[in-house]
Protein backbone atom coordinates (compact mmCIF):
# COMPACT_ATOMS: atom_id res chain seq x y z
CA UNK A 1 0.00 0.00 0.00
CA UNK A 2 1.59 3.29 -1.12
CA UNK A 3 1.35 6.58 0.74
CA UNK A 4 -1.57 7.80 -1.35
CA UNK A 5 -3.55 4.71 -0.34
CA UNK A 6 -2.57 5.21 3.29
CA UNK A 7 -3.99 8.72 3.10
CA UNK A 8 -7.18 7.28 1.63
CA UNK A 9 -7.42 4.80 4.50
CA UNK A 10 -6.83 7.57 7.02
CA UNK A 11 -9.65 9.70 5.59
CA UNK A 12 -12.04 6.73 5.60
CA UNK A 13 -11.27 5.89 9.23
CA UNK A 14 -11.53 9.54 10.28
CA UNK A 15 -14.90 10.01 8.60
CA UNK A 16 -16.44 6.74 9.79
CA UNK A 17 -14.92 6.74 13.28
CA UNK A 18 -14.21 3.01 13.04
CA UNK A 19 -11.44 0.76 11.73
CA UNK A 20 -13.91 -2.05 11.04
CA UNK A 21 -16.37 0.12 9.11
CA UNK A 22 -13.52 1.67 7.12
CA UNK A 23 -12.23 -1.80 6.25
CA UNK A 24 -15.68 -2.85 5.03
CA UNK A 25 -16.07 0.33 2.98
CA UNK A 26 -12.63 -0.07 1.39
CA UNK A 27 -13.05 -3.84 0.99
CA UNK A 28 -9.75 -4.63 2.71
CA UNK A 29 -8.90 -6.60 5.89
CA UNK A 30 -9.09 -4.72 9.19
CA UNK A 31 -5.44 -5.61 9.81
CA UNK A 32 -4.48 -3.76 6.63
CA UNK A 33 -6.29 -0.63 7.84
CA UNK A 34 -4.57 -0.76 11.23
CA UNK A 35 -1.18 -1.29 9.61
CA UNK A 36 -1.71 1.60 7.19
CA UNK A 37 -2.59 3.99 10.03
CA UNK A 38 0.40 2.90 12.13
CA UNK A 39 2.74 3.36 9.19
CA UNK A 40 1.27 6.76 8.36
CA UNK A 41 1.69 7.91 11.95
CA UNK A 42 5.30 6.75 11.89
CA UNK A 43 5.90 8.64 8.66
CA UNK A 44 4.41 11.95 9.85
CA UNK A 45 5.88 11.56 13.33
CA UNK A 46 2.71 12.14 15.35
CA UNK A 47 -0.40 10.39 16.59
CA UNK A 48 -3.35 11.05 14.28
CA UNK A 49 -6.10 9.07 15.98
CA UNK A 50 -7.21 8.37 19.53
CA UNK A 51 -8.38 4.74 19.74
CA UNK A 52 -10.94 3.54 22.26
CA UNK A 53 -12.77 0.24 22.49
CA UNK A 54 -15.87 1.75 20.88
CA UNK A 55 -14.78 4.61 18.63
CA UNK A 56 -11.90 6.39 16.97
CA UNK A 57 -11.38 10.14 17.32
CA UNK A 58 -9.05 12.53 15.55
CA UNK A 59 -6.24 14.18 17.45
CA UNK A 60 -5.50 17.85 16.82
CA UNK A 61 -2.77 16.84 14.35
CA UNK A 62 -5.15 14.35 12.77
CA UNK A 63 -7.71 17.09 12.20
CA UNK A 64 -5.06 19.26 10.52
CA UNK A 65 -3.99 16.41 8.27
CA UNK A 66 -7.59 15.56 7.33
CA UNK A 67 -8.21 19.15 6.24
CA UNK A 68 -5.17 19.01 3.92
CA UNK A 69 -5.55 15.46 2.61
CA UNK A 70 -9.27 15.44 1.80
CA UNK A 71 -9.05 18.02 -1.04
CA UNK A 72 -5.88 16.32 -2.30
CA UNK A 73 -7.69 13.01 -2.69
CA UNK A 74 -10.60 14.78 -4.34
CA UNK A 75 -8.27 16.37 -6.91
CA UNK A 76 -6.68 13.03 -7.75
CA UNK A 77 -10.05 11.33 -8.16
CA UNK A 78 -11.33 14.17 -10.32
CA UNK A 79 -8.31 13.80 -12.59
CA UNK A 80 -8.94 10.07 -12.80
CA UNK A 81 -12.56 10.69 -13.78
CA UNK A 82 -11.45 13.24 -16.37
CA UNK A 83 -9.35 10.75 -18.30
CA UNK A 84 -11.72 7.82 -17.85
CA UNK A 85 -14.98 9.64 -18.51
CA UNK A 86 -15.36 8.10 -21.93
CA UNK A 87 -14.75 4.55 -20.80
CA UNK A 88 -17.75 2.33 -20.17
CA UNK A 89 -15.94 0.09 -17.68
CA UNK A 90 -17.59 0.47 -14.28
CA UNK A 91 -16.68 -1.90 -11.49
CA UNK A 92 -16.57 -2.25 -7.73
CA UNK A 93 -19.07 -2.03 -4.93
CA UNK A 94 -21.63 0.72 -4.46
CA UNK A 95 -23.67 1.02 -1.28
CA UNK A 96 -26.92 3.00 -1.57
CA UNK A 97 -29.88 3.63 0.73
CA UNK A 98 -33.40 4.08 -0.65
CA UNK A 99 -36.84 4.39 0.98
CA UNK A 100 -38.46 0.95 1.05
CA UNK A 101 -41.26 1.66 -1.39
CA UNK A 102 -38.96 3.34 -3.94
CA UNK A 103 -36.63 0.35 -3.65
CA UNK A 104 -39.45 -2.12 -4.24
CA UNK A 105 -41.57 -0.25 -6.76
CA UNK A 106 -38.94 1.56 -8.83
CA UNK A 107 -35.33 0.58 -8.20
CA UNK A 108 -35.44 -3.23 -7.95
CA UNK A 109 -37.53 -3.79 -11.11
CA UNK A 110 -35.16 -1.57 -13.13
CA UNK A 111 -31.87 -2.96 -11.75
CA UNK A 112 -31.47 -5.79 -14.30
CA UNK A 113 -30.89 -3.29 -17.11
CA UNK A 114 -28.32 -1.34 -15.07
CA UNK A 115 -26.39 -4.44 -14.01
CA UNK A 116 -26.55 -5.88 -17.51
CA UNK A 117 -24.97 -2.68 -18.80
CA UNK A 118 -22.31 -2.76 -16.05
CA UNK A 119 -21.73 -6.45 -15.19
CA UNK A 120 -18.78 -5.71 -12.90
CA UNK A 121 -20.80 -3.35 -10.69
CA UNK A 122 -21.90 -4.76 -7.32
CA UNK A 123 -24.79 -2.95 -5.64
CA UNK A 124 -25.65 -3.15 -1.94
CA UNK A 125 -29.22 -1.90 -1.66
CA UNK A 126 -30.36 -0.72 1.74
CA UNK A 127 -34.09 -0.04 1.91
CA UNK A 128 -36.01 1.20 4.92
CA UNK A 129 -37.93 4.27 6.02
CA UNK A 130 -35.37 5.42 8.59
CA UNK A 131 -32.67 7.91 7.61
CA UNK A 132 -29.11 6.61 7.86
CA UNK A 133 -25.85 8.44 8.46
CA UNK A 134 -24.04 8.17 5.13
CA UNK A 135 -20.57 8.74 6.55
CA UNK A 136 -20.92 6.59 9.66
CA UNK A 137 -22.63 3.71 7.83
CA UNK A 138 -20.40 3.82 4.75
CA UNK A 139 -23.24 4.62 2.34
CA UNK A 140 -22.17 6.09 -0.99
CA UNK A 141 -25.52 7.60 -1.94
CA UNK A 142 -29.01 7.94 -0.49
CA UNK A 143 -32.38 8.78 -2.03
CA UNK A 144 -34.43 11.05 0.21
CA UNK A 145 -38.05 12.17 -0.04
CA UNK A 146 -39.30 15.26 1.78
CA UNK A 147 -37.64 18.15 3.58
CA UNK A 148 -33.93 17.67 4.23
CA UNK A 149 -32.00 18.63 7.33
CA UNK A 150 -29.04 20.94 6.89
CA UNK A 151 -25.85 18.93 6.55
CA UNK A 152 -22.47 18.84 4.86
CA UNK A 153 -23.76 16.36 2.28
CA UNK A 154 -24.08 17.21 -1.37
CA UNK A 155 -27.74 17.43 -2.44
CA UNK A 156 -28.86 16.80 -6.01
CA UNK A 157 -32.50 17.89 -6.23
CA UNK A 158 -34.52 15.95 -8.79
CA UNK A 159 -38.00 17.48 -8.53
CA UNK A 160 -41.23 16.77 -6.66
CA UNK A 161 -43.68 13.88 -6.51
CA UNK A 162 -47.43 14.27 -6.08
CA UNK A 163 -49.24 12.96 -3.02
CA UNK A 164 -52.86 11.91 -3.27
CA UNK A 165 -55.69 10.89 -0.93
CA UNK A 166 -56.80 7.26 -1.26
CA UNK A 167 -59.47 4.91 0.01
CA UNK A 168 -60.30 1.28 -0.67
CA UNK A 169 -63.47 0.13 -2.42
CA UNK A 170 -64.69 -1.50 0.77
CA UNK A 171 -64.15 1.71 2.72
CA UNK A 172 -66.15 3.74 0.20
CA UNK A 173 -68.97 1.20 0.25
CA UNK A 174 -69.12 1.49 4.03
CA UNK A 175 -68.63 5.23 4.53
CA UNK A 176 -69.11 6.91 1.16
CA UNK A 177 -66.85 9.35 -0.67
CA UNK A 178 -65.88 12.54 1.17
CA UNK A 179 -66.71 15.57 -0.96
CA UNK A 180 -64.81 18.25 1.00
CA UNK A 181 -62.28 18.32 3.86
CA UNK A 182 -64.98 19.13 6.45
CA UNK A 183 -66.59 15.74 5.70
CA UNK A 184 -63.53 14.03 7.21
CA UNK A 185 -64.24 15.23 10.73
CA UNK A 186 -67.32 13.03 11.19
CA UNK A 187 -68.20 9.78 9.50
CA UNK A 188 -64.67 9.13 8.21
CA UNK A 189 -61.36 7.95 9.58
CA UNK A 190 -57.77 7.83 8.49
CA UNK A 191 -54.89 5.41 8.89
CA UNK A 192 -52.23 7.16 10.97
CA UNK A 193 -48.56 7.17 10.05
CA UNK A 194 -45.71 7.56 12.53
CA UNK A 195 -42.35 8.66 11.17
CA UNK A 196 -39.70 6.03 11.97
CA UNK A 197 -37.15 8.83 12.19
CA UNK A 198 -38.93 11.35 14.44
CA UNK A 199 -41.55 9.13 16.07
CA UNK A 200 -44.19 11.81 15.41
CA UNK A 201 -47.57 11.00 13.95
CA UNK A 202 -48.30 12.82 10.71
CA UNK A 203 -51.52 14.90 10.59
CA UNK A 204 -54.01 14.95 7.72
CA UNK A 205 -53.03 17.96 5.60
CA UNK A 206 -54.10 19.56 2.36
CA UNK A 207 -53.17 22.61 0.30
CA UNK A 208 -55.91 25.05 -0.72
CA UNK A 209 -56.11 27.09 -3.91
CA UNK A 210 -54.32 29.99 -2.22
CA UNK A 211 -51.35 27.65 -1.49
CA UNK A 212 -52.07 27.65 2.24
CA UNK A 213 -51.60 24.39 4.12
CA UNK A 214 -54.46 23.20 6.32
CA UNK A 215 -54.69 20.47 8.96
CA UNK A 216 -57.85 18.42 9.57
CA UNK A 217 -58.40 16.45 12.78
CA UNK A 218 -59.51 13.13 11.28
CA UNK A 219 -60.41 10.24 13.65
CA UNK A 220 -57.88 7.40 13.62
CA UNK A 221 -58.04 3.84 14.99
CA UNK A 222 -54.82 2.32 13.64
CA UNK A 223 -51.34 3.78 13.15
CA UNK A 224 -48.56 2.30 10.99
CA UNK A 225 -44.85 3.10 11.13
CA UNK A 226 -43.82 1.96 7.65
CA UNK A 227 -45.16 2.42 4.14
CA UNK A 228 -46.02 -1.24 3.56
CA UNK A 229 -48.21 -1.43 6.66
CA UNK A 230 -49.74 1.96 5.91
CA UNK A 231 -50.92 0.89 2.46
CA UNK A 232 -52.01 -2.54 3.69
CA UNK A 233 -54.28 -0.92 6.30
CA UNK A 234 -55.87 1.22 3.62
CA UNK A 235 -56.45 -1.82 1.40
CA UNK A 236 -58.12 -3.52 4.35
CA UNK A 237 -60.64 -0.65 4.59
CA UNK A 238 -59.30 0.73 7.87
CA UNK A 239 -59.16 4.34 6.70
CA UNK A 240 -58.00 6.96 4.24
CA UNK A 241 -54.33 7.54 3.50
CA UNK A 242 -52.16 10.22 1.89
CA UNK A 243 -49.50 8.59 -0.25
CA UNK A 244 -47.20 9.32 -3.22
CA UNK A 245 -49.06 8.43 -6.40
CA UNK A 246 -46.31 6.12 -7.72
CA UNK A 247 -46.67 4.02 -4.55
CA UNK A 248 -50.23 2.99 -5.38
CA UNK A 249 -50.44 3.49 -9.16
CA UNK A 250 -50.91 -0.24 -9.73
CA UNK A 251 -53.68 -0.40 -7.11
CA UNK A 252 -55.45 2.57 -8.67
CA UNK A 253 -55.20 0.98 -12.13
CA UNK A 254 -56.63 -2.28 -10.76
CA UNK A 255 -59.52 -0.42 -9.12
CA UNK A 256 -58.58 -1.67 -5.66
CA UNK A 257 -57.94 1.87 -4.39
CA UNK A 258 -59.67 5.09 -5.42
CA UNK A 259 -58.40 8.65 -5.25
CA UNK A 260 -60.65 10.95 -3.19
CA UNK A 261 -60.66 14.70 -2.64
CA UNK A 262 -58.45 15.33 -5.71
CA UNK A 263 -58.84 19.10 -5.27
CA UNK A 264 -57.52 18.91 -1.71
CA UNK A 265 -54.26 17.05 -1.97
CA UNK A 266 -51.36 17.39 0.48
CA UNK A 267 -48.28 19.36 -0.53
CA UNK A 268 -45.92 17.66 -2.97
CA UNK A 269 -42.68 16.17 -1.66
CA UNK A 270 -39.21 16.79 -3.00
CA UNK A 271 -36.95 13.95 -4.16
CA UNK A 272 -33.18 14.29 -3.74
CA UNK A 273 -29.98 12.32 -4.12
CA UNK A 274 -27.44 12.78 -1.31
CA UNK A 275 -23.76 11.89 -1.28
CA UNK A 276 -20.58 13.10 0.39
CA UNK A 277 -18.01 15.53 -0.98
CA UNK A 278 -19.03 17.25 -4.17
CA UNK A 279 -15.79 16.52 -5.99
CA UNK A 280 -15.00 13.05 -4.63
CA UNK A 281 -17.19 10.92 -6.87
CA UNK A 282 -16.30 7.52 -8.24
CA UNK A 283 -17.25 6.52 -11.76
CA UNK A 284 -19.74 3.97 -10.39
CA UNK A 285 -21.41 6.61 -8.22
CA UNK A 286 -21.70 8.99 -11.17
CA UNK A 287 -23.32 6.22 -13.22
CA UNK A 288 -25.87 5.47 -10.49
CA UNK A 289 -26.75 9.14 -9.97
CA UNK A 290 -27.49 9.63 -13.66
CA UNK A 291 -29.36 6.31 -13.89
CA UNK A 292 -31.65 7.05 -10.94
CA UNK A 293 -32.36 10.59 -12.11
CA UNK A 294 -33.55 9.19 -15.44
CA UNK A 295 -35.54 6.45 -13.68
CA UNK A 296 -37.49 8.83 -11.42
CA UNK A 297 -38.38 11.31 -14.17
CA UNK A 298 -41.60 9.53 -15.16
CA UNK A 299 -42.91 9.89 -11.61
CA UNK A 300 -42.10 13.56 -11.03
CA UNK A 301 -44.56 16.40 -11.37
CA UNK A 302 -44.22 18.40 -14.56
Domain of 97, CATH number, reads 3.40.190.10
- Give the closest residue to 276 by CA, choosing from 157, 153, 156, 155: 153
Structural domain boundaries enclosing 115:
91-145+279-299
Average of pLDDT values for 136-160?
Answer: 83
Residues 6+ apart with CB under 8 A from 120: 89, 90, 91, 92
CATH number at residue 65: 1.10.10.10
Assigned domain for 153 exists: no
Average of pLDDT values for 205-211?
Answer: 85
Same domain membership, residue 242 and residue 180: yes
pTM over 0.85: no
Same domain membership, residue 167 and residue 262: yes
Average of pLDDT values for 199-210?
Answer: 87
pLDDT for 12? 84
Average of pLDDT values for 46-67?
Answer: 85
User: 14 or 223: whose pLDDT is higher?
Assistant: 223
Q: Is the pLDDT of residue 279 over 70?
A: no
Same domain membership, residue 246 and residue 285: no
Domain count across the chain: 3
Same domain membership, residue 260 and residue 193: yes
Share of the chain above pLDDT 70, in %: 91
Assigned domain for 158 exists: no
Cβ neighbours of 1 (radius 10 Å)? 14
Q: Is the pLDDT of residue 189 over 60?
A: yes
Same domain membership, residue 198 and residue 135: no
pLDDT for 140? 86
Assigned domain for 157 exists: no
Q: What is the mean pLDDT of the chain?
A: 86
**What string of DSSP letters covers 193-242?**
EB-TTT-PBPPEEEE-TTS-EEEE---EEEEESSHHHHHHHHHTTS-BEE
Assigned domain for 151 exists: no
Amino acid sequence: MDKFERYRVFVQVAEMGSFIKAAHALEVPRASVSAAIRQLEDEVGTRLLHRTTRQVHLTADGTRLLERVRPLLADVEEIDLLFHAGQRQVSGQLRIDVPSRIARRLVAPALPSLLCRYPQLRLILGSNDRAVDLVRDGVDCAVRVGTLKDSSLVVRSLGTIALINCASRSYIQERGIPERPDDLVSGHRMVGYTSPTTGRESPWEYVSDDRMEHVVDVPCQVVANNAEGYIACCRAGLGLIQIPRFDVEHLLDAGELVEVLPAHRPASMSVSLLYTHRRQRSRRLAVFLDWFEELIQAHLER
